[in-house]
Amino acid sequence: MDSKTQGAWIVHHTRKLQAVITQDFDQLAFSGKCGLLLSSIATQNQTTLPKSRVEALARANGISPRLELPSILDELERQMLIQHGSDSVEVLGLSTHSVLGHISTIFREISPAPEEQAVIDISETVSESPVLENELIELTSDTLKLKNSDAADLVAKGESIGFFDAEKNAQGERLVFNGNLFRTEDIYKVNAVMRTLSAVETERFRELNDMLSKQGCITLKQAYAIMTELLFLRLQSVGMFDVNKIGNETGSHYFVTRPAAFSKFTSTIADDAFDLAKAFVSALTYGMTSSPYGRGRIQMISRLMEKLISGAPIGPATAIGHDYRALEMRGVVEVKPSTGSLYTMRLLKPEVGRLALAVIQEGEATSEALTQLPAAAVSQYAEPESNRTVMRKNITEPLKKGVGNLLAELRTGGLKK
C-alpha cells in the first residue's frame, strides 16, 4: 500500500472514530486529525493564516481548539509543514495528495500499535472484494501473531466502529466489506451486482447508471423515481452509489453521484479522500436543480470555473457571502467582503475545482444545464460514507438478506476474470 492510500484510510478511520466514544486507536486518530487540519489550512501556495481562522477550521473538522489543536500544530511544525506563533500560522503550499503522504509519515513516526496498522490493511483488503469473516480473522491472527480470539475481537471492534461492515449471506456466513467496493469502474463487480437483480431491476439500474454517466450528479428524488427507494438503498448500502447531503436555511438536500465517476479522472481512494470534490459537485448541482430563482445567475459556468481554477477571484456579488459556507469551512474557497454587502471568492484548492468541473461536464451535461453558479446557502455537507452508515443502521431484515446475497455474488462469481 502506498503512502497516499494509507493516508486516505487514516482519514476515513479518523472520521469514524470521531463519531464514537472509544479509547482505542489513539495514534491513528491523532494522525488523521493532523491531516484534517492540514487539508483545511493548506493551499497550493504558501500562506499565513490568523490563529482565529485556524481555530475556526479546527472546530469545523471536529477538533477541539483548546484540547487538541496545540499538539496537532506542534506535530505539523515538527514535520516542517507549518510555523506557528501566538497569533498566526504559516503553511507551506501543499496539494491534497501531498497532505495524504504527510499523514502517513506522521502515523509511521508516532509508533502506532500493530492493531492500528491492521485495521488499515483489512480495510484495503475488503474494499477489493468482500471476505468471509472467519477467513479474515484467521488472516489477521497469522499476520499479527495473535490468538484467534484476540483477532476476532479486533475485527469485531473494527466493525462496531465502522472501519468496515459485515452482512450475512444466504448460508448464514458473515461477509466483511466496506463502502469503497465501487470506487473504480470494474465491469466484473457491476456484472456481479446485476446477477442479483430481476429483469425489471436490471433495467432500472441501467437507466440510473446511464443518467449519472451523462450528468455526473442528480437529486436523490430523481434516483428514487427511477429505481424505487428499496432497490436504491440495497445498492447504496454496499457503496454502489454515493449520497451527498448538503444543508442550508431551507433544510437538507440530497444528491447522488457514482464513486466511479471520480475514478474516471483519478484512480484510488486517495484522490478525493477528504470528499472535497464531491462537496463541490453537490453544491453546484444544488444551484442547478433546487436553488430558487431571483438571486442572480452567472452564465457560462465552465468559463467561470476556469477563472477560479486559475487562481483569479470572482465577484463582487452579494450571494457569494452566503452561498459557499460548507466549502469555506473545509478550506476549499476563501470568501472576502468587498464593499457594502458584496463579497469576492477565490478557489484555494485548484485540483478540487478541476475534478468537480470534470465530473459535471462529462457526457451530456451541456451549457443549457450549467447556466448558473449555485445560489445555494450551503452551510453543511455530509459525505457519502456518513450517509451510507446512517442508512445501514435503519436497514430492514428483508433488505439485509438482499445485501448479503449481493455481497456473496461479488465475492465469488463477480470477481472471476
| pLDDT tens track for 228-258 | 998 998 888 888 888 888 766 667 778 888 8
| pLDDT tens track for 183-233 | 665 666 777 778 888 999 999 999 998 888 777 778 899 999 999 998 998
Q: How many Å apart are CA 80 and CA 78, to the nearest integer?
A: 5
| pLDDT tens track for 404-413 | 666 666 666 5
Q: How many Å apart are CA 13 and CA 353, to the nearest integer?
A: 25
**Other CB atoms within 10 Å distance of the CB of residue 380:** 13
What does the pLDDT read at residue 81? 97
What does the pLDDT read at residue 223? 93
What would the DSSP string read from start to end of 99-148?
HHHHHHHHHHHT---HHHHHHHHHHHHHHHS-EEHHHHHHHHHHHHT--H
What does the pLDDT read at residue 167? 83
The domains found in the chain, sorted by start residue, are 3-112 (1.10.10), 118-178 (1.10.10.10), 245-385 (no CATH)
Counting every residue, how long is the chain?
Answer: 417
Angle CA 41–42–44, to nearest 5: 150
For the entire predicted model, the pTM comes to: 0.75
What does the pLDDT read at residue 168? 83
Q: How many Å apart are CA 99 and CA 275, to the nearest integer?
A: 14
Q: How many Å apart are CA 298 and CA 277, to the nearest integer?
A: 21
Q: How many Å apart are CA 199 and CA 205, to the nearest integer?
A: 10
Q: Which of 99, 114, 111, 105 is nearest to 36 (CA)?
A: 99
Q: Distances in Å between the alpha carbon of 396 and those of 181, 219, 385?
A: 22, 24, 19
DSSP-assigned letter for residue 251? E
Q: Which of 28, 174, 216 is nearest to 110 (CA)?
A: 28
Low-confidence spans in the chain with pLDDT less than 50: 264-267, 292-299, 363-379, 414-417
Q: Which of 76, 71, 60, 61 is nearest to 14 (CA)?
A: 61
What does the pLDDT read at residue 396? 54
- Give the largest Cα separation in the chain, rounded: 67
